[in-house]
Structure 1
Amino acid sequence: MAKTNYSFEKRQRELEKKRKQEEKRLRKLEGKGSADDEAEDGMVDASPPVDQEDPAPPAG
């Protein structure tokens, strides 16, 4: 009789859980995005956020 590969089964369960969580996260983002679009009438900045500070301070 073949020995059960518990580590493989566990890995498959973990991957399935991760996949479901990702789908849920995407559904939430999709729902949030449609509500934001209606509230702001499409006035959303599509540029990605910048993690770095500006190299030059504003002149003044």
Structure 2
Amino acid sequence: MVGSATARELLLVVAMAVVGLLLATVAAFTPWPVTPGGSAPSSLVDLQGPPVPPEPVGSTAG
């Protein structure tokens, strides 16, 4: 009796994890609208850092 309840609860936890992964996959690869009337192509975000600032003119080291 206790084993049946445990198995049912574990099955529920695994099923919820699978549903969560499916929803996360759909959210990651579904196109997000750029404008109210159009949609953007689906793609992953390209991570870029800020540009390197130029060195100040006339600075000296030392």
Instruction: Give TM-score, length-normalised by structure 1.
Output: 0.52
> Which whole-Å CA distance do the structure 1 matches of 2:4 and 2:22 have between them?
27
Alignment of 1:5-44 (within 5 A): 5-35=1-31, 38=40, 41=41
Distance 1:42 1:22, change over 3 A: closer
Percent identity over the alignment? 6
> Which whole-Å CA distance do the structure 1 matches of 2:2 and 2:28 have between them?
39
Poorly superposed stretches of 4+, deviation over 6 Å: none
Q: Which has the higher contact order (CA 8 A, sep 6+)?
A: 2
1:50 matched to which residue of 2?
A: none
Aligned residues: 37
**More helix per residue: 1 or 2?**
1
Shift of 1:34: 1.1
